[in-house]
Structure 1
Amino acid sequence: MTDLPTRSYAAFLFDMDGTILTSIASAERSWTAWAITHGLDVAAFLPTIHGVQSVETIRRLNLPGVDPVAEAAAITAAEMLDVADVTPIPGADVFLAALPAARWAIVTSAPRELAKVRLAAAGIPLPPLLISAEDAANGKPAPDCFLLAAERLGVAPADCLVFEDAPAGIAAAEAAGCAVMVVTATHGHAIETKHSTIDGYVGIAATAAADRLTLCRM
């Protein structure tokens, strides 16, 4: 964990998977089964699935005879049935519950129905604003989703702090002009980043005053 930013923000924007909950095992089980079916090198392929829309992951492979939309839908259906070990990042549920309702949003590359299932499995209530894969024309690393979240909250992107864990999401937040906090809870190794980092939400809180949010240690 690095030093927390000292400035205040109008809103906090949270990625979902790897940032407020962990679904890595669930996702990798579904994607492993799919990769084996298509003759892919599983070890080389799995690192490419995180932080981006499923349809884009499949589209990049350019597999002959494969319909990325249909395949992504099938993988999503499998993931929705496999959430028994989806859990919140330490302290995330308490941290989120204390935020003012109009000052935060979840911005995820997951389809809306999968997001709902994973949030429920992790014991995290649906937020007032959920931006999912269906809502933005271009997925991460494009900035569209974070720009849309800021617009719907009625704040400037530059006045938002984005909590992210994956390179694609970090790049999207940077492109949107947002400040970034990198969550390292699910990282298997140290990450090189110019941004502040936290390994979870235990021991931190957000103070709210005059429609501003400021991170602090408890």
Structure 2
Amino acid sequence: MKYVLLDVDGTLIDAVDNQRRVWRTWSRRHGLDGDEVYRVALRTRPLETFAEVAPGRDPQQCLALLHELEDEDVRTGTYTAFDGAAELLDGLRPGTWAVVTSNYAHRVRGRFARTGLRVPEVLVDAAAVEEGKPSPVPYLRAAALLGAAPEDCLVIEDAPSGVRSGLDAGMTVWGVNAAAAVDGVHRHFATLRTAVREILAFASGRDTSDASDGPDRS
């Protein structure tokens, strides 16, 4: 049996504008440049971001404000699922897929509800693991919950940290929603929509290695 493990933000749901807005608001509250803070936040986890952009502030207070702003955004912000996301999730069999996110489960479920996406039965969030992406721990945790061997899992990601997490977990990793392939991915698709047919084929056990859009085996 094959299994599919999916990232959320940037992979299934377009949350870039929401994330930028949250970080800009957070930055304004601390008298910082929002664009610069957001550039740091894109490549680090929140506590690491605070240490770099606001080293003199209490990191727990910084985190509490960020969580408050993120929760408010889930309640009031506008979210859009990427084209193909609903078809993909509806096409996956129960017990063969999970979502793996650096966010928290209540926000993910809120975003799924706002976009009409099928809510996952298995969800590994930031609270479920001691080490987040790029550690392999989150994807290995999802595989364990599904009863899957890593070599039978396909990871769908958009960001370098998630790609590294999946690769170090010993899984097949495909990249989506990026103009250029993230280093290390086994296949690259410019959009989620173009990947849907191949992901469902993998999930059904069919060989897709000779697909017309071609693999990226860098």
Q: Name the TM tier (shorter chain).
A: 0.7 to 0.9
Matched residue, 1:5:
none
How much does 1:203 deviate? 7.1
Matched residue, 2:25:
33
Quote the sequence identity (%).
30
Go from structure 1 to structure 2 and tell me whether the alpha carbon gap of 1:175 and 1:45 turns closer, same or farther (over 3 Å shift). Answer: same
Matched residue, 2:13:
21
2:116 pairs with 1:126: no
How much does 1:100 deviate? 0.5
What is the TM-score normalised by the length of structure 1?
0.82
What is the TM-score normalised by the length of structure 2?
0.82
**Structure 2, unpaired ranges of 5+:** 213-218
CA deviations on 1:149-187 (whole Å, 9 max, x unpaired) are 011111111221101111111111111111111112xx4
| Corresponding residue to 2:65 among 53, 66, 74 | 74
Go from structure 1 to structure 2 and tell me whether the alpha carbon gap of 1:132 and 1:143 turns closer, same or farther (over 3 Å shift). Answer: same
Return the structure number with greater helix share.
2
2:134 pairs with 1:144: no
CA deviations on 1:108-163 (whole Å, 9 max, x unpaired) are 00011111111211211220100001001111111110010011111111221101
Taking the aligned partners of 1:134 and 1:49, their CA distance within structure 2 comes to: 19
Matched residue, 2:106:
113
Taking the aligned partners of 2:142 and 2:148, their CA distance within structure 1 comes to: 9
Return the structure number with greater strand share.
1
| Corresponding residue to 2:180 among 172, 185, 190 | 190
Higher relative contact order (CA 8 A, sep 6+): 1
**Structure 1, unpaired ranges of 5+:** 1-8
| Corresponding residue to 1:200 among 181, 192, 197 | 192
CA deviations on 1:67-122 (whole Å, 9 max, x unpaired) are x3342232222223224321111111111111011100000000111111112112
Matched residue, 1:87:
80
Taking the aligned partners of 2:79 and 2:149, their CA distance within structure 1 comes to: 32
Matched residue, 2:160:
167
Q: Give the conservation status (yes or no) of the 8 Å contact 2:5–2:98.
A: yes
Taking the aligned partners of 1:203 and 1:19, their CA distance within structure 2 comes to: 11
SS at match of 1:29: helix
SS at match of 2:102: coil
Number of positions where the alignment pairs a residue of Structure 1 with one of Structure 2: 203
2:169 pairs with 1:179: no
Matched residue, 2:3:
11
Question: What amino acid is the match of 2:69?
Answer: A
2:41 pairs with 1:45: no
